[in-house]
Chains A and B, each alone.
Chain A
């Protein structure tokens, strides 16, 4: 029976394949009973997991500061005390020793017993605090699992299959694509999450927020992902298959056409040169950036060196990464963004704060770096040392005030002086730039611009902060709109102020790589785009059809348009004008 489910288009394209379901099971509970000789080992595992969980809380406690300190610290204290409470832990050890249960099962049974007591409480607040039990148990379970398997979970989907799951971590997407998985359907998630961005760069068709996917799709069902329509077709008909074949033929033709643009200039019809920079982290990105004729690297996100690891990369390790980046780009400029951890990008090395009440508005980006001056200094030193191998620029994320740029500039100057004094070769001038992604920075740009050498607009966060819409919340996906008049005004204003001050301005959010926005951004005055290298050829193709002078004429009308509908209308006119 043909069935159509709808969702959000996280990544375009179509895919046809067998469904492979990954049911959400956060923690593996081993239900088998232990043999006599396994009991000692299992007691030891639980002891270690409890100790590791307590240690995590101790570290967390040390890192807490700011407005919510007292409240958060009290929760951390309570959770630590629970982990240390023999009346809590003895029951689990008894379940292992006497009941012969695995530690994971003992934890779950103890959790269920205690939660049952909470659920019978009359007082609604006290009843709701079974959350505390769940948090504590989850922390211990996570430590138990970490010790059983180093890989977090194994996704079963293989070549020719489509993964259907509740969520997928960005780190899981790359191996999926490498193993020939054709597409991904998620029951939750958002089209602007990091996973979605990655799926687009991998050309992996992906739909998110397909709420009933796990209920209606079964293992081995033939399903068709239609990333153009935002639909999954379960048991597609002959008609669906014909549509898929047409799409496939068009896609092949498009690939051939784009391949011809690899060595072409990026120039509007009226002869204005547009610079396409690459957002690149991996050697594969850098190779692609070179192959597709990037003007340089517009955004190198250093947090990828910090994610998914326990210890911090030291100056030497960072230096080698940045040096290889500079060498890989063969003399083209490379923009290295300082650490942007926090909010939806947390690390396991413990730099970013855990448990912030409102992490998107919390200690992230430059705020985190300025609180960890040694970490920042080692990063700046590594970048400065890499400057001997090619032109590098330093970009600072989440800037809100000009004072933050003064602080970073001072640190950069100090690091430069120290390195020169110790005889290191570094470039004579390193450009320092600010990310404009907080509305305050966009509005206060006339004061900030004098303190920086260049600016880069980060539209993903600029949209989120301007519209007060969490970009990972699929309930609000329709409100997350880069075409909101307020967002366009901030972008146009940033470009105009920077150009007037004689500073380069690039745009490196998702908008830059979306060809539907290319005419709009050129109309607003943008000449430097930075995007995933996989998107460069499409954007180049689009740029080469546009007439910049004709587009610029329409900028004022675009900015006057009061509604999204009017902006869409003006955009449609732009396409014909360009």
Chain B
């Protein structure tokens, strides 16, 4: 199991389109993936779960992956957060 703390840094936060990109990026990984935020834990492969976190700009979250390809899945998630979900701001 891997865990990493990261801050939501895109301006609009984890809204529907950003959440969709996360879910799509994780598609195909065997590892399970979770996001922990303000005491809640949601399945990062469920768009509804991610959206319902209401994680806006500046919210600290913990990413967690578990499974055979957990490292690659983690890297994919971290990349997407760091690229601000390709939203440019």
Contact = CB atoms under 8 A, between A and B. Distances in A.
Interface stretch (B51-59, B62-70, B74-82): B51-59
Contacts of B12: 125-126
Contacts of B46: 85-88
B49 interface: yes
B56 A122 contact: yes
Q: Which of A79, A85, A88 has the most CB of B within 10 A?
A: A85
Contacts of B51: 126, 129, 132
A77 B48 contact: no
Contacts of A122: 54, 56
A123 B54 contact: yes
Contacts of A126: 12-15, 51, 54, 56
A125 B17 contact: no
Given A74-B20, A78-B19, A87 B13 contact: no
B43 interface: yes
A132 B21 CA distance: 15
Interface in A207-230: none
A81 B52 contact: no
A77 B20 contact: yes
B23 interface: yes
A88 B48 contact: yes
Contacts of A114: 48, 52
B47 to A, nearest CB: 4
B17 A78 contact: yes
Contacts of A27: none
B37 to A, nearest CB: 12
Interface string A126-146: 100100100000000000000
A126 B13 CA distance: 7
B2 interface: no
Q: Tell me the interface secondary structure of chain B in the complex.
A: helix
B24 interface: yes
B16 interface: yes
Contacts of A79: 16
B84 to A, nearest CB: 14
Contacts of A132: 16, 51
A10 to B, nearest CB: 38
Q: Which of B47, B56, B57 has the most CB of A within 10 A?
A: B47
Contacts of B57: 123
Nearest to A71: B17
A75 B48 contact: no
Interface in A66-105: 74-75, 77-79, 81-82, 85-88
B48 A82 contact: yes
Contact of B47 (A81, A117, A118, A123): A81
B4 to A, nearest CB: 23
A121 interface: yes
Nearest to A88: B48
Contacts of B43: 87
Contact of B13 (A75, A85, A88, A125): A125
A39 B54 CA distance: 34
B13 A81 contact: no
Q: Which of A81, A88, A123 has the most CB of B within 10 A?
A: A81
Contacts of B15: 125-126, 129
B56 A123 contact: yes
A77 B24 CA distance: 9
A85 B47 contact: yes
A121 B54 contact: yes
B20 to A, nearest CB: 4
Nearest to A129: B15
A339 B57 CA distance: 47
A123 B48 contact: no
Interface in B1-38: 12-17, 19-21, 23-24
A74 B85 CA distance: 12
A78 B54 contact: no
Contacts of A85: 23, 46-49
A81 B51 CA distance: 12
B87 to A, nearest CB: 10
A534 B69 CA distance: 73
Nearest to B48: A88
A84 B15 CA distance: 17
Nearest to A86: B46
Contacts of B54: 117-118, 121-123, 126
A121 B57 CA distance: 13
A78 B16 contact: yes
A81 B23 CA distance: 8
A129 B20 CA distance: 13
B21 to A, nearest CB: 8
A74 B48 contact: no
Nearest to B87: A74
A82 B47 contact: yes
A125 B59 CA distance: 14
Given A81-B24, A87-B48, A75 B17 contact: yes
A405 B15 CA distance: 44
Q: Top 4 nearest A-B pairs by Cβ distance? A: A123-B56, A78-B20, A78-B16, A121-B54
Interface of A: 74-75, 77-79, 81-82, 85-88, 114, 117-118, 121-123, 125-126, 129, 132
Given A117-B54, A122-B56, A125-B15, 20 more contacts: A74-B20, A74-B21, A78-B17, A81-B24, A81-B47, A82-B16, A86-B46, A87-B46, A88-B46, A88-B48, A114-B48, A122-B54, A123-B13, A123-B54, A123-B56, A123-B57, A125-B12, A125-B13, A126-B12, A126-B15
30 contacts: A74-B17, A74-B20, A75-B17, A78-B17, A78-B47, A79-B16, A82-B16, A82-B47, A85-B47, A85-B48, A85-B49, A86-B46, A87-B48, A87-B49, A88-B47, A114-B52, A117-B52, A118-B54, A121-B56, A123-B13, A123-B54, A123-B56, A123-B57, A125-B13, A125-B15, A126-B14, A126-B15, A126-B51, A129-B51, A132-B51
